[in-house]
Each structure stands twice: as structure tokens, then as C-alpha cells.
Amino acid sequence: MDDSRPPTSPRIAEQDQSDGPTAVLTGRWTAADLAAGSTLGQTRSRLAALPASHGWDLQGIDRLDHLGAQLLWNQWGRTWPARVALLPEQRSMLERVAEFTTTPEPAPPAGLAQHFDALGVRVLEGLAQAKVGVRLVGQLTLDIGRLIRRPHQGPWRDISGHLFQMGTMALPITSLVGALIGVVLAYLTALQLRQFGAESFIVNILGVSLVRELGPMLAAILVAGRSGSAITAQIGVMRVTEELDAMRVMGIAHGFRLVMPRAIALAIAMPLIATWTTLAGLAGGMLAADLALGITPAFFLNALPDAVSGANLALAVGKSAVFGILIALIGCHYGLRVKPNTESLGKGTTSAVVTAITAVIVVDALFAVAFRSVGI
């Protein structure tokens, strides 16, 4: 221990006595002295460094209170050491600490019943989420019917603003990712096609894969990460700032003014974004095919209409609109469930992005199975 400290500070010295190495404790082992500066941390470190075989001599301690006794009792592993020299009052203090110090019992291993209960809780939570989702879809249907009956009361300015934010502002990143995916796919495909002398079939592979699957899928995943999180964050901040409560008091329906404009905007924007991403991917693939296989852009453009039927394009546009509505509903769902605190806002935003991306992939797989004979 540091000898520059006051003489009342807790001190530990090691001595070789007749019965073996012994830790001799001196000073004042009280809460006030242990709390001074870094004394408590240094004392714990010094105690932890002592071998378990050491004996203990506490007779030189000037004063010992419950905190000092608890520190020693914990160091001893909450059991009496084999060799210890104590004063009667010190033994009484340590026995009192030992009596009221409880050792937490280890949790029993989870059995089959506990696992079954946990599964049941998860199933009930999933059913509750599904119930809220169905209610949200039903409310969206009613709100669209209201908009059709009374178009002059519709939130057209909100829809226009969301179209710009979620659609136009997403074009640069989606085009960049689409072009890079097209380049990568073309180069990887060229390596295989060159082995069989089937270089011209790169147009078919790029056309079908980008138009039918990768274009809409990439656009939906990017929009889910970009706009899905923004939707949840916007509505969640309204919950934190109590704007949602104010809207309810004023009689403004959340579904008509918050959910429906975003759903309509993404339903319109997603097919356009998917088409833009597909075109960027085809442009990147066409450039890579020219460089890797010598397939000229003129040949690529002439062969593309024969390789990709109009049914593939219609399917891509249709499922992109479904993706857009799905992303908007998931973002709004988690935004409306946010509690009025920042921690819930962060968790809701993360959950919205993960759920939206997962839902997009699942729905795309369902489309692939349901329309497997269309356009092929």
C-alpha cells in the first residue's frame, strides 16, 4: 500500500509467522476511510492479490465497521478462513455481517415447461402484432374509400411531400447500387458463359434477373432502410412530443393524416424507383458485358426485348407497389407503438427496418412461387 496516505487508512502487510504467511491488517477499516479518494479500489486490489493460503491477523485494526467487515467477508469467499486472529468485538461484527449476507441461489435450469411457456408468449405476441397489422390494413382501406368519396378533403399536400422525400430523394442511391449490382452480376456471369461459348445469353440472364427479381428487391430493401426508418422516426417523435395526443384531442384521425399519405406515396413511388433501379442495373450490366465479353450495347438493346417479356415487367411493377404499401404500413405500425421516450424510439426504428426488410424478402418469395410460370 502507499505509505504516503494518512496513518488511519486501511493497510495490509504480509508477514511470515510461526504458522505460515499471514496478512496483517492495520488502520481504520471504516466507510469514511475506505471512501477517501481511491482507497477502496486500492484496498480491493491488494486483497485480491493475496494468496488464498494466507492467514489473517485483524488484531491491529484500530476500528472496523460493517463496510470493512463486508469487504473482508467477501474477500474470504463468505466463509471463515482456516487461520484468523480476531478481537472479540471484531468477531462479533463479522458474525453479524455473515448472518445478514445472503448468497443468491443459482437459477434452476429451464425445463421443457419453461421453454413451452416462452414459446407460447412469443406466439401470443406474434398474434397480437398480426391483429394490429390487420386492423391497420382495414383502416387504410376505409381511409382510401373516404378519399375516393371526398377527394377535396384528401391530404394531397402530404402525399406530394412524401412522394418527393421517399421517391425523388431515393433515386441517386438506388441507381448507384443498381448499377454496381449489374456490373458485378455481368462479370460473374461472363466467367461462366465464356466456358461454354454462350456469351450472348448474358442478355437473357441480366434481363430476367434484374427486371423480375433484383431490381424490385434491391429498390425495396433500400427504401425499407431509408424511408421505413424515417417513417417510424417521424411518427415516433410525434409520440414523444405528444403531437399524436394533440391530434386525437382535435379529432384528426391518425390513419387518414399519417398512415394513408405515406402508403399512397410509397405505392406510387416504389414501382418508379424499382424501374429506375432496374434500368441502372441494366446499364451497368451492359457496360460490363461490353468490356468482358465484347457484347456491344446495340446488340444488348436489340436482344433485350426478346429476352424479357412484358409479363416480367408487369409482375415487377405490381409487386413493387405491394412492397411500397408493406413498408409504409410497417413503418407506421412501429411508429404508432413508440412510447414517449427516446429508448423506445430507437428500438422501434430498428425493429421497423428489420421487419420491413424481412417482410419484403418473404413476400418476394411468395410472388416467385405464385407466379413461377408467368413470363418464363
Name 17's bridge partners.
20
The 10s digit of each residue's pLDDT in 8-28 is: 778 888 888 777 788 888 888
Q: What is the pLDDT of residue 187?
A: 87
Query: For residues 210 and 339, what is the distance between their CA atoms, to the nearest angstrom?
Result: 40
Domain ranges of the chain: 11-100, 127-370
Length of the chain: 376
Over range 231-244, report the average pLDDT.
90
| Among 111-115, 208-212, 216-220, the least confident range | 111-115
Pick the CATH number of 11-100 from 3.10.20, 1.10.150, 2.60.40, 3.30.750: 3.30.750
**pLDDT class for 5, splitting at 50, 70, 90?**
low
**Is it the case that residue 2 has pLDDT exceeding 50?**
no
Q: Which helix (H) or strand (E) holds 147?
A: helix 112-149
Query: Per residue in 102-154, pLDDT tens?
Result: 665 566 666 777 778 888 888 998 888 888 888 999 999 999 999 999 998 88
Average pLDDT of the residues of the chain: 86
Coil, helix or strand at residue 107: coil
Are the beta carbons of 319 and 253 closer than 8 angstroms?
A: no
The span from the CA of 303 to the CA of 239, in Å, is 53
Stated pTM of the model: 0.68
User: Tens digit of pLDDT for each residue in 295-348?
Assistant: 888 988 888 888 888 888 899 999 999 999 999 999 999 999 888 888 888 899
Which pLDDT does position 366 carry in this prediction? Answer: 93
